[in-house]
Amino acid sequence: MAIDSMFKQMKADGIDVIGFAAGEPDFNTPDEIKEAGIAAINNNNTRYTPARGTVELRQAVCDRMKADCGVEYAPNQVVVASGAKHAVYIALRAIVNPGDEVILPAPYWVSYIELIKMMGGVPVVVTATEEENFKLSADKLAAAITPKTKALILNNPSNPTGMMYSREELEVIADLCVRNDLYVIDDEIYYSLVYDNKKFVSLASLGEEIKERTILVNGVSKSYAMTGWRIGYACASEPIATVMANYISHSTGSPCAVSQKAALAALTGSQEKVETMRQAFEARRNAMVEGMNAIPGVSCIMPEGAFYVMMNLKDILGKTLHGVKVETADDFAALFLKKGLVAVVPGTGFGAPGFVRWSYATSMENILEGLRRLRDFLAE
């Protein structure tokens, strides 16, 4: 937050800073989706909907999950929420009691650990190293399970690392969760942003036993550039979906009616623009990874999905740059913004203290200029 505040102030002061912190596509919402939202307003689709979302939208979610992920749900197993983050919150609210342990692989998205704590749950952080491609191994998962373990949170592909689990890796995780009767909150919000012709595999598609224990979280924010529309959804067994819907009913109430109409258009319309964005992100990823690994002192591994790169600072930390000793990722990020005029996100909040996250949800021009500034910054 401190880095973000500094970045915004510098930008307001007219300083030529470049930001790589964005967790949202830089593309605009496609016109046909915006038109559906506008039509909803003009047609007075502006009243309360069912707490768990309109039937037509929940059916569209079912159809999209079957087409894209090969997993079948009925509308009464779908809950529409005010964003995927809200869906994760409601999922945890439905299954976690005070004192329950929730296994959280690190690096993790910053909100997961706080959401677990908000339930009175106990986060059990299991670190997956860069050498492990930032992915939770079967051995580490098995070692973290105790009689108090209630659930595992999985983010696939991952924010902040961009790494994706293969079918074989997911099968081992699924087997452990079934044998230990654990729930899995599986956040697949980046599932359509996968590169190198790799095939995304949904955990819930691996069999009925793991599907019954999985709360699949997804939404329209990333795939359709609809972050501000605030529509996410969860698919789960009918009893869990009903509990989640009850929580929504008594807390936020139904999601925005206008946004639901726009989301319906996104899920049922042509998916060509999703592919157009995916191809653009893949080209940007390639440029960022190649450029970053060509700069002495820093490195990164190739992410397989989402739109983030984790830059390793192991050769930087402990050294002095521009007269300042860089002890932490936070130190690096603050100094890089001040002297290099580039904003990145310290890995500290993601459970990855030796890294900073770059987002390539920005223009190729910004990426190339940001890398040039990085090279100059480190050369001083």
pLDDT tens digits, one per residue of 310-355: 999 999 999 999 999 999 999 999 999 999 999 999 999 999 999 9
Rounded Cα distance between 71 and 53, Å, is 20
Q: How far is CA 168 from CA 172, 203, 212, 275, in A?
A: 7, 11, 19, 26
Model pLDDT, residue 121: 98
Listed as ranges, residues in the chain with pLDDT below 50 are none
At residue 37, the pLDDT reads 98
pLDDT at 164: 98
> Within 13 A of 69's CA, how many CA atoms are on the CB side?
27
d(C-alpha 32, C-alpha 272), whole Å: 12
pLDDT on residue 6: 87
Instruction: Tell me the sheet residues that pair with 153.
Output: 185
Q: Whole-angstrom Cα distance, residue 155 to residue 162? A: 10
Predicted pLDDT at 340: 97
Three-state SS string over the chain comes to CHHHHHHHHHHHCCCCCEECCCCCCCCCCCHHHHHHHHHHHHCCCCCCCCCCCCHHHHHHHHHHHHHHHCCCCCHHHEEEECCHHHHHHHHHHHHCCCCCEEEEEECCCHHHHHHHHHCCCEEEEEECCHHHCCCCCHHHHHHHCCCCEEEEEEECCCCCCCCCCCHHHHHHHHHHHHHCCCEEEEECCCCCCECCCCCCCCHHHHCHHHHHHEEEEEECCCCCCCHHHCCEEEECCHHHHHHHHHHHHHCCCCCCHHHHHHHHHHHHCCCHHHHHHHHHHHHHHHHHHHHHHCCCCCECCCCCECCEEEEECCCCCCCEECCEECCCHHHHHHHHHHHHCEECEEHHHHCCCCEEEEECCCCHHHHHHHHHHHHHHHHC
User: What pLDDT is stored for residue 329 in this prediction?
Assistant: 97
Residue 3 confidence (pLDDT): 80
Tell me what pLDDT residue 2 has: 77
Q: Can you tell me the distance from the alpha carbon of 105 to that of 127, in angstroms, rounded to the nearest whole number?
A: 6
Supply the pLDDT for residue 351. Answer: 97
> Residue 150's pLDDT is what?
98
Per-residue pLDDT tens digits for 254-287: 999 999 999 999 999 999 999 999 999 999 999 9
pLDDT of 136: 98
pLDDT value for 4:
80
What pLDDT, on a 0 to 100 scale, did the predictor assign at position 22? 84
Mean pLDDT of the chain: 97
